[in-house]
Structure 1
Amino acid sequence: MNEKIKVLLAEDESSLGLIVKESLENRNFLVTLCDNGEVAFETFLKNSFDTLVLDIMMPKKDGFTLAEEIRKLDKEIPIVFLTAKSQTQDVVKGFKIGCNDYIKKPFSMEELIVRIIALTNRKHQIEKKAIYHLGTYQFNPDTQILQHKNETFKLTNRESLLLEFLLQNKGEILSRELILNTVWKNDDFFSGRSMDVFITRLRKKLNLDQNVAIINSRGRGYKLIC
């Protein structure tokens, strides 16, 4: 893998969590390990990940609850459940919540790695897109790479779609409703909260060029200037 896949791993069994983290990092993944669901949710809100690997039986907030809350904010990021449960109803519940894959313990690291790569490599757009230039940045929607000199950011699918839409309408104020209905496909409360989180993430990545900014026009929406 040329670009490191960023994984949020939520596993309360410390020995297993450390083994999985070390094994993935040895394969060139970037892994953030959390030992309970509450910490995992806060970590998700503050950072950008390519996929989530969640244990179901965790203290403070179980994997099902965690996945439900994350799905209200991000309907695209791949979620893999790790579980010792084998009941059919639990598997069905996981997929109804919105997980993309389900691995039962004990599992092989090779199986987990193959499934993560398969999920993160899924393409929503097949056609090749133009490379955008914004200030001292370069953005490739196909690879979802935002490049600034020697700094490289691997965007999530939702971050990439949001930035591309802002770039296509550079300098124009886009209403919250338009952004939500275009990128999130709905404009409900949870999508609105999710959008604010993703705008914050993009702003953080774009702060290396003071001439590039996502401006909030109070009561109207957002616009990208560069």
Structure 2
Amino acid sequence: MRILIVEDELHLAEALTQILRKHHYSVDAVHDGRSGLDYAVSGIYDLLLLDIMLPEMDGISVLRAIRKQGISTPVILLTAKGEITDKVNGLDHGADDYIAKPFSTEELMARIRAALRRKHEVFAEDVLNFGDIELNATNLKLMCKGKEMKLNPKESELLELLLLRKQAITSKEQIIEKLWGFDSEVEHNNVEVYISFLRKKLTFLASAVRINTVRGVGYVLEVTV
């Protein structure tokens, strides 16, 4: 799961980043509304933590812009304590929840889990199917013909991305942005390693699903006859 933090208080943004990484989320953080919008419209994030008071572009404007583009990524607003107008305005413009500063780690994590659960209800309780395979991204299990295999988190994220895109070609750049983030120094061979891991597991399960390489373009899922 990848979360975008849009928060101009640098110490808070860093603290949130560390907390979320300790809970095994991948995290990117930006510190102004314009950058937040640019990152959010990429579509690679599973949830946004969005401060309302931001330089360059306020959080409500960012929220309004991403919803106007049809992006349904869950958004939790970070609000000043007691600012009822901001909370109501945010919810009216498509926010999924809000949390008032200062907040406890426990409350933040509970709200994040709740928002992600609501999102995954849209995807059949986080279970994705293609051909003869089924991926449960919550418990990281890949199932095929009554057999199952545990994936590691990166393998699960990669297969989830390919499944969500189904028969569309997914480039290595798209995979790196989704799994490691925009500013990552991860190279293409890291993607190749995880593709190789997944191919071996699909072969072990005797699945008809294949990850095919489209030379110079990327990868695509196909079902063999």
Q: Assess, with a 3 A threshold, how the Cα gap between structure 1 residues 130 and 91 changes in structure 2: closer, same or farther.
A: closer
**Match of 1:14?**
10
Q: Assess, with a 3 A threshold, how the Cα gap between structure 1 residues 162 and 225 changes in structure 2: closer, same or farther.
A: closer
* C-alpha deviation, 1:103, in angstroms: 0.5
**Match of 1:27?**
23
Over the aligned positions, Cα root-mean-square deviation in angstroms equals: 3.9
2:174 to 204, 208, 226: 204
* C-alpha deviation, 1:212, in angstroms: 9.4
Structure 1: state its 5+ residue gaps: 171-198, 215-223
The 8 Å contact of residues 50 and 75 in structure 2, kept in 1 or not, is answered as yes
Between the aligned partners of 1:130 and 1:20, the Cα distance in structure 2 is: 30
TM-score, with structure 1 as normaliser? 0.61
* C-alpha deviation, 1:204, in angstroms: 3.1
**Match of 2:180?**
none
The 8 Å contact of residues 128 and 163 in structure 2, kept in 1 or not, is answered as no
User: Does residue 119 of structure 1 match 2:115?
Assistant: yes
Between the aligned partners of 1:84 and 1:92, the Cα distance in structure 2 is: 13
Q: Assess, with a 3 A threshold, how the Cα gap between structure 1 residues 200 and 89 changes in structure 2: closer, same or farther.
A: farther
**Match of 2:80?**
84
Aligned length: 175
Per-residue CA deviation, residues 41-67 of structure 1 (Å, 9 max, x unaligned), is 222234611100000000001110111
Q: Assess, with a 3 A threshold, how the Cα gap between structure 1 residues 30 and 225 changes in structure 2: closer, same or farther.
A: closer
Q: Assess, with a 3 A threshold, how the Cα gap between structure 1 residues 139 and 59 changes in structure 2: closer, same or farther.
A: farther
Per the alignment, in what secondary structure is the counterpart of residue 82 of structure 2? coil
Between the aligned partners of 2:53 and 2:9, the Cα distance in structure 1 is: 10
User: Does residue 56 of structure 1 match 2:26?
Assistant: no
User: Does residue 152 of structure 1 match 2:155?
Assistant: yes
TM-score, with structure 2 as normaliser? 0.62
Structure 2: state its 5+ residue gaps: 143-150, 176-190, 196-211
Between the aligned partners of 2:126 and 2:2, the Cα distance in structure 1 is: 24
Q: Assess, with a 3 A threshold, how the Cα gap between structure 1 residues 30 and 130 changes in structure 2: closer, same or farther.
A: closer
Q: Which amino acid aligns with 1:31?
A: V
Per-residue CA deviation, residues 84-142 of structure 1 (Å, 9 max, x unaligned), is 152322211110110011111111111111110111122125489673259xxx663x5
Q: Which amino acid aligns with 2:45?
A: F
Q: Assess, with a 3 A threshold, how the Cα gap between structure 1 residues 201 and 13 changes in structure 2: closer, same or farther.
A: farther
Q: Assess, with a 3 A threshold, how the Cα gap between structure 1 residues 47 and 85 changes in structure 2: closer, same or farther.
A: same
Q: Assess, with a 3 A threshold, how the Cα gap between structure 1 residues 22 and 211 changes in structure 2: closer, same or farther.
A: same
* C-alpha deviation, 1:74, in angstroms: 3.7
Q: Deviating runs (4+, > 4 A) in structure 1?
A: 125-130, 159-162, 199-203, 211-214
Between the aligned partners of 1:108 and 1:80, the Cα distance in structure 2 is: 15
The 8 Å contact of residues 81 and 103 in structure 1, kept in 2 or not, is answered as yes
The 8 Å contact of residues 213 and 225 in structure 1, kept in 2 or not, is answered as no
Which stretch shows the higher mean deviation, 67-76 or 16-25? 67-76
